[in-house]
Amino acid sequence: MNIHHLELFYFVAKHGGIAAAVRNIPYGIQQPAVSGQIAKLEESLGTKLFQRRPFALSPAGLELFEFIKPFFDNVEIVAEKLRQNKSPQLRIAAPSIVLHDYIPELLQKLRTKFPEFRLYLHEAARAEAERLLLVRDVDLAITLVEKKSRAGIQVRPLLKLPLLLLVRKNSRLARAEELWKRDKIEETLISLPRTDPIHASFQRGLERLGVEWFCGIEVNSARLIERYVASGYGIGLAVAVPGFKPAKGVRVLELPDFPSVVVGASWSGKLSNISRHLLAELETEAQAQMRRMKRREC
C-alpha cells in the first residue's frame, strides 16, 4: 500500500468526504487528485472503502481507518516533540511593519529562554496569514483581527489602534471634519484592500456620518500609502501604530469618532512551547504600549 494514499484516506474518513478533506489537508492538493489516488488505494485493496453520496465508510473502510487513525492523529505531535528536543522552530506571519519594527526586539527577549531556535518569517496581511495558519505553514500570526475569526483559528486581541488620515504637508485641510461637510469629496482615497479591517472600519465610520467616499487607489502596504500621499495622489488611510511618525512631506489628520482596529495574535491547533512564550511577550509589549498611549492622551 502507498503510505500517501493512506494519508489521503485518513483525511477523507476523518472529515466525512473528499471535498471536506481537501479543505483540511495541510498542503495544496485538488479534489480530482484525491479522488484518483483514493481509487488507486481501493484498487490495490480490491474493495470499496466508502460510499460517496451520502458519505459512509464501508466495513473495510472502517477497519482500515481504525487501524491508521492512531498513527496519523499523533504524527505531528511526535514530529514537534522531536523538533523541540533538537532546536525549536518558530514560524511567524505578520505585515512588514510588524516584522521590521517590533519582532526583532521581542525575539531578543525570547533568546534568553531559547538560545537556539530556527526562525522563519513570512510577510503577510490577514487573509494570507490565515491561509498559512490553516495549512500549518506558520505557528503564529500577528495581524489586524476582526470580531469573528475563521473556523479553525484562535485569536487573542492585543491592542486597539485608532484610524488616521494622511495628507500632504502643504494641504489646506486642517481637520478631517472639513471633508465631511462637503457635498462631494474630490480627493482620491488611498487605502489597503477593501477586504482589510482598516478599510472596513473606516467605511463604518463614514456610514455613521452619512458620507460616501470609496477607495480610489488600492495598495497592499502602509509604506506605499505614505509614498503616494507625499507624491500628491490623494489622501491616505492609515493606523496609529505605536511610535508612528508620518513620512517626510506627510501630515496626520486624526479620526477620533471612528471605530478603532484591533491587532491580535492568531494560531491554529496547539501552540508549541516557544510560540506560547512569544505570545506572552506580545501580550506584555501590548500592555506596555497601551500604558504609553494613555500617558500621551493625558
| pLDDT category of residue 206 using cuts at 50, 70 and 90 | very high
Same-domain status, 279 and 197: no
Query: 173 and 104, same structural domain?
Result: no
Residue 214 within a domain: yes
Residue 29 lies in a domain: yes
Are 17 and 154 in the same domain? no
Q: Given this model, what pLDDT does residue 297 score?
A: 63
SS3 158: strand
Percent of the chain with pLDDT over 90: 57
pLDDT band at 233 (very low <50, low <70, confident <90, very high): very high
Q: Could you tell me if 97 and 155 lie in one domain?
A: yes
Residues 127 and 214 in one domain: no
What total of structural domains would you count in the chain?
3
279 and 154 in a common domain: yes
Region 62-82 average pLDDT: 83
Are 10 and 152 members of one domain?
no
> Does the structure show a pLDDT above 90 at 220?
no
Identify the H or E element spanning 160: strand 154-161
Is residue 80 in some structural domain? Answer: no
pLDDT at 134 over 90: no
Report the pLDDT value the prediction gives residue 85, as an integer from 0 to 100: 56
Last residue of a domain, one of 33, 52, 74: 74
Q: Give the structural domain span for 37.
A: 3-74
Residue 18 lies in a domain: yes
- What pLDDT, on the 0 to 100 scale, is given for residue 261? 92
pLDDT value, residue 89:
87
81, part of any domain: no
Note whether residue 82 is domain-resident.
Answer: no
Q: Clarify whether residues 177 and 214 are in a common domain.
A: yes
- Nearest-10 crossing angle of helices 59-86, 3-15: 110
Average pLDDT, rounded, for the chain? 89
pLDDT for position 27? 74
43/14 same-domain check = yes
The CA-based diameter of the chain, rounded to the nearest angstrom, is 79
With beta carbons less than 8 A apart as the criterion, state whether 99 and 123 touch.
yes
One domain for residues 91 and 130 = yes
Where is pLDDT greater, at 148 or 15? 15
> Of 297 and 219, which is predicted with more confidence?
219
Q: What is the CATH number of the domain that holds 191?
A: 3.40.190.10
* Mean pLDDT confidence for 108-112: 91
Query: What 3 state SS string does 229-276 have?
Result: HHCCCCEEEEECCCCCCCCCCEEEEECCCCCCEEEEEEECCCCCHHHH
